[in-house]
Amino acid sequence: MNAMTGSHVPALHIDNLHKSFGKTEIIRGINLSIAPGERHAVIGPNGAGKSTLFNLITARFAASKGKVSLHGQDLAGMAPYEINRLGLSRSFQITNIFPKMSVFENIRCGLLWSMGYKYSFWNLVSRSRALTEGAEAILEQINLTARRDLPAGVLSYAEQRALEIGITIAGGADVIMLDEPTAGMSNTETDYIVDLIRKVTVGKTLVMVEHDMGVVFGLADQISVLVYGEIIATGAPEDVRGNPKVQEAYLGAALEEEH
Amino acid sequence: MSDQTTSQPRTGSLTGSLSFALAPWIVAAVLLLFLPMIFQANSAITIMNQMWITVIFALAYNMLLGQGGMLSFGHAVYMGVGGFFCMHIMNWDSFERIPLPLLPVFGGLFGMGLAILVGAFSTRKAGTVFAMISLGVGELIAACSVIIVVFFGGEEGISGDRTYGLPFMGVEFLKQIEVYYLIAFWLMISAALMYLFSRTPIGRMANAVRDNPERAEFLGYSARWVRFYSFVASGFFCGVAGALFAINYEILTEENLNTASSGVILLVTFLGGVGFFFGPILGAIVFTLVQTVLSLQTELWAFYAGILFVATVMFFPGGLAGVLMMHVPAIRLGKAKLLLVPYIKTLIPAAIGILGLAALVEMIFHYRHASTGDNEMTLFWTTFDSHAVMPWIVVIAVIVIAFGVMRRNLPEMTDAWDEANHAEEG
C-alpha cells in the first residue's frame, strides 16, 4: 500500500481500536493503514460507528483501547489543536463554521496558525498581504469569491458545506478528514461538492466518512466498509463493490432503505 | 447553487477604507478636546471625568463579554486592584520622582498581573464555569478589602494626593481640567489599543473561540489560551481605568471592588451593546448621565436605570449600538429619510407617554413618602398638590392619549421600516 509514495510510514495508522459507551461496544477492533496521498473512504450503513471512528481519530473521544498514529506519532491524549498542528484537519458532519463572521474571515481564521501568527497581538490581520491573498485563493478554489463579505450564517446549505471544506483545508494540513461532506444535499450539489473535494485534496491524504456509497466510487482510491464497529472489507472500489460480504451487509441494507 | 441571493460583495480597497476608518477616531479626539470648552462648569468636568473612566472600563470589559464571549461577574476587582496599587504609589516617598501621567501604565500592569494569576485557572472553561469563578474571585478579593487593611485600608479605604507627583511639563494636576485632559489622553490611547487588539490574530481568534470553540481548536488554536490572552489584555485596561479613578478621586474603597460595581459595568456594557466595538462607549455615556444628571432630579434614578436595562435586554438585545446599526442597511439603500417622519410621529408620543409614566411613578412616590402636610411637589417645572385629584387625572390622560397616538401611528412606522429596508429588485 505504501509503494505508491515510497514512504514507509503511513499517514494515518489505526491499531486495534476499541470504543465502548457504557456496556455497548461501538468500535470493535479496527485496524487500518492509510498511505500518504491516498484518498480513503470509510462507508457503512447508519449506526455502523463511522462518526465515532472519526471522532476517535481526531481525539474528540478517547479510545477505550488501541491507538491511532499520525505519521507514526501516537495521538493519544492530545488536544484537538495539537493534532491540528501535526497536520491533520477535519470537517464536521453538522456544519461547523463561524456563522457571525464573514466568509472571508472564516477562511482567514483557518490560515492564521499555519502562517505562523499564533497568539500574536502585534500584527494587524488586515496588513498581511500573504494572509489576504491566501484566503482569497482558497475562496476562489471553493467558488465563494462572490460571497466574500457576507456573514457565513446566511449562505445556502451547500455553500456552507463548501466553506466548511475551505476552512478545513486552509491551514495546509496534509491529512484532511471529512465527515459526510455531502450529507443532506441534492444530487447536483453532491456532484459539485465531490468535484470540489477532488480539486482541493490533490497531493493530500484524504479520509472521508460517507453514508452514500455512490458518492465515493469516483473519488476514493481505497474504500473500507464499516459494519457494526468492524471493518469487513478494504480495497479498491471495484473489489469492494464486488465483495459478496459487502453486498450482503451494506448494499442490502441500502436497498431496503430505498424501498 | 449561486442564484438565490442578489447581494453584491463590497469591493473596497484597503487604503480607501483605512482613511474612512480613521474618521470616527479624529471626531472623537476633537470632541474630547473641545467638550470642556462647551461645558465649562466644574460639575460638567466632574461628570465627564467619570464618564471617560467608565468608557475605558466598559471597553475593557467588552473585550471579554463581546469579543471573547466570557461573562465576568467580578470584573471590578481588576480595576479596583489597579487603582489601589496606584494609590499606594501616590503615597510612596518616591512618587515625587514619577510623573503622574505615567501612573496608568503601572495601574495597567497591576491589573494585568492580577488577571494573569486569576486567568491562569479561570479561562480553562468558558460559559457558566468561567462566570462562577469570576464571581467567586470577585467576592474573595472584595472580602479581602476588610481583612487586609494594610493594603485596602479597611472600611475607609485608601486616599492620597495626586499633586505630590513630579510635575509634568509644568502641570501639577491641581485643577480638575488638567485631570480631564489626562483622562482624555488615556481614553484615546486605550480605546485605540483595544480596537487594534481586536484586529490582531489573537483578537480575531477571540471572536472565533466565542462563536465556536471546538472549530477554533481544530484550526490549531487552544481555546483556553485564546481566552487567557483576551483576559490578560482586558485586565491591563481595567487597571488603566483604575489608575485614572485613583487620580481623579484620590480615594479608593471597598466599593471599587464589590459585586455591585461589577454588576454596574455589566449593565453599562450590555446597555451600550456588546456586538460592536463602540457599544460600551455609548453605554458608559448614557449610564453616567443617568447616574449623575438624572440622580440630581430624582431619588428614583436607579429604578429608571433598572427599567432601561430590562427594556434593553428584552426588546433590543443588541443594545444602543445595535439599534443604531439596524439603520445601516436603510442608509446604504439611501432610504433612511423615509423613516424620519414616521419616527417623529411615533417616537415623540412614545416619549411623552414614558415621561407621563415616570411622572405617575414620581407622584405615587411623593404621595407615599413625603412628610405629612408637605403636599406640594414640582415635576417638569410645574408645582402642584400631589394629594389633589386633578393632577392625577391630567397625568393619566396624558399617558393614555400619548400611547394612543403612538399606537395609531405605529403601523405607519413599521411600513416605512419595511419599505426603507427593501432593496429594489434587478
pLDDT tens figures, A119-171: 888 888 888 888 999 999 999 999 999 999 999 999 998 899 999 999 999 98
The values of phi and psi at residue A166, to 5°, are -60, -45
* Domain covering A2-258, topology: Rossmann fold (3.40.50)
A189 contacts in chain B (CB < 8 Å): 1
CA A180 – CA A39 distance, rounded (Å): 14
The closest CB to that of A192, out of B1, B217, B229, belongs to B1
Where do you find CATH 1.10.3470 in chain B? 26-307
B4 contacts in chain A (CB < 8 Å): 156
Residue B175 contacts A, CB cutoff 8 Å = no
The answer to whether the CB atoms of B203 and A121 lie below 8 A apart is yes
The answer to whether the CB atoms of B205 and A109 lie below 8 A apart is yes
Please determine, looking at this structure, whether the domain spanning B26-307 carries the CATH number 3.90.1580.
no
Residue B97 contacts A, CB cutoff 8 Å = no
Beginning with the edge strand found earlier in the chain, give each strand of the sheet holding A12-21 in spatial order. A24-34, A12-21, A65-70, A73-74
- Region A219-241: mean pLDDT is 89
For residue B57, the SS3 value is: helix
Phi-psi region of B173 (alpha: psi -120 to 50; beta: other; left: phi over 0): left
**% of chain B exceeding 90 in pLDDT:** 51
Which grid cell sits at A149?
Answer: 463579505
The answer to whether the CB atoms of A189 and B211 lie below 8 A apart is no
CA distance A223 to chain B (A): 25
Res B2: pLDDT: 38
Residue B212 contacts A, CB cutoff 8 Å = yes
The answer to whether the CB atoms of B204 and A85 lie below 8 A apart is no
Confidence grade of residue A7 (pLDDT, cut at 50, 70, 90): low
Return the residue of B nearest to A121 by Cα: B200
Which residues of chain B carry a pLDDT beneath 50? 1-15, 426
CA B246 – CA B84 distance, rounded (Å): 7
Residue B220 contacts A, CB cutoff 8 Å = yes
Closest CA to A42 of A252, A243, A229: A229
Res B99: pLDDT: 87
Q: Rounded mean pLDDT of chain A?
A: 87
Q: Taking a C-beta distance cutoff of 8 angstroms, is the pair A219, A42 a contact?
A: no
B10 contacts in chain A (CB < 8 Å): 149
Res B383: pLDDT: 81
CA distance A196 to chain B (A): 13
Confidence grade of residue A3 (pLDDT, cut at 50, 70, 90): very low
CA A26 – CA A21 distance, rounded (Å): 7
Res A250: pLDDT: 64
Res B13: pLDDT: 45
Res A259: pLDDT: 52
Residues 6+ apart with CB under 8 A from A189: A158, A161, A182, B1
Res B128: pLDDT: 92
The answer to whether the CB atoms of A121 and B202 lie below 8 A apart is yes
Listing DSSP states for A151-220 in one string gives BGGGS-HHHHHHHHHHHHHHT--SEEEEESTTTT--HHHHHHHHHHHHHHTTTSEEEEEES-HHHHHTT-
Burial class (CB in 10 A: 0-12, 13-18, 19+), A222: buried
